[in-house]
Amino acid sequence: MAEHSRSRYQYIDNFLNKPGPTTDPDFVPGAPTISNLEASKVLVIGAGGLGCEILKNLAMSGFQDIHVIDMDTIDVSNLNRQFLFRKADVGKSKAEVAAASVTGRCKNVKITPFNGKIQDKDEDFYMQFKIIICGLDSIEARRWINATLVSMVDMENPESLKPLVDGGTEGFKGQARVILPTLTSCIECQLDMHAPRAAVPLCTLATIPRQPEHCIEWAKIIAWEEHRKDTALDTDDPEHITWLYDKSLNRAKEFNIPGVTYQLTQGVVKNIIPAIASTNAIIAAACCNEAFKIATSCNPYLTNYMMYTGDDSIYTYTFEHEQKPDCPVCGNLAKTITVNPRHTLQDFIESLGERPEAQLKKPTLRTESTSLYFQSPRSLEEQTRPNLSKRLSELVSDGEEIGVSDPAFTIDFKFKLIFQA
């Protein structure tokens, strides 16, 4: 890069032109490290509230080859915190607009946008990056990219290990973590720290809703099944969300419940984590700080989890989350689950969606010798459907391992079922 164009990064260069007391032994101050930073190809997953902050920070930190992927388009509700977007951008691709907005201000930075799902990209796509940074609002998407990066690791090829920097926010709380696939605790190891939202009893939804969220859940679970059961609900389809919003609003008026909005409907249906701009800024800064340290070796990176809360006061805590031997992604042992042998297979399948350590919505189950239940194809689903009403004690033995797959993930899960006494 020309000398005059480095003036934007003069404060960054203070860290890169001389070693410090905690600098990595491999650190080479000066031009080699600066060139390495500029050449580091980084992928940002998500261009929403957190992603906008991350893209801005990376560009201002000296990264010059940035890629961003997001499947969403800009909604008017995004404009209060996703500062790279304007009213005229509503309806456009988040990734494309965010990329254009940043490069318009940082002329020396190249940002390549992708409008689509991360699941549509293959391993070759992810292999080209040095660092991957997640700014997602979905646990499922985090689990998918985590499993993909772990499966990519080839012990004989160090370049196949792609550091994953993950950030997440919920209101005034947030976390940042650094994951080295196969070497450190992964997202699946930490899954029980992200327990699924408590389920609302169906009778409450059907008869005595008390909150606006209850009205939205009623529209999603009951009204949709009654009126549009032949159409699969697509939570990314604006027409579907609008239909649910209208039904939820009428339901709320019937029970004098205020607070149902289009934005809330979208959040409940898609299980979107609420975001606050200041929290996004803090967590994005932490994520980009870790990416900078990984790319330059100027300081040790986080080991491996930082949590932040700012609701009552400002508090942070850093600790090392340990790798779990029974992690279905990076471990090699089956995860032990205690079950009631008198419960049916249907009960067990429903519990897999609610258990913090599983969170599987459409599981297919099998033992080493037989198929317990298949979600698809239809012929196998019909063939294994009678097992749903059978007790677990009729289908498996105490301590037996079962294999579980889910269409949302690229891996198979192993569980060891232990019967309650």
User: Catalytic positions, please?
Assistant: 203
What separation, in Å, do the N-terminal and C-terminal C-alpha atoms of the chain show?
69
- Residue 309 DSSP SS3: strand
Burial class (CB in 10 A: 0-12, 13-18, 19+), 88: exposed
Q: Which residue has the tokens 């800064």?
A: 285
CB-based contacts of 403, cutoff 8 Å, min separation 6: 365, 366, 367, 368, 412, 413, 414
Helices then strands, counting H and E runs in the chain, come out as 15, 13
For the chain, the 3-state helix, strand and coil shares in percent, each to the nearest 5, are 40, 20, 40
CB-based contacts of 373, cutoff 8 Å, min separation 6: 345, 349, 363, 364, 365, 381, 384, 385, 387, 388
Q: Which residue has the tokens 């002329």?
A: 107
CB-based contacts of 105, cutoff 8 Å, min separation 6: 59
- Residue 78 DSSP SS3: helix
Residue 179 neighbours by CB distance under 10 Å: 26
Amino acid at 279: T
CA distance 385 to 401: 20
**Which structure tokens are listed for 215?**
């009205």
User: Are 146 and 188 within 8 A, CB to CB?
Assistant: yes
CA distance 344 to 348: 6
User: Are 70 and 99 within 8 A, CB to CB?
Assistant: no
CA distance 171 to 244: 24
Q: Buried (b) or exposed (e) across 112-140, using 16+ Cβ within 10 A?
A: ebbbeebeeeeeeebeebbbbbbbbbbbe
User: Are 324 and 309 within 8 A, CB to CB?
Assistant: no
Residue 376 neighbours by CB distance under 10 Å: 10
CA distance 305 to 231: 42
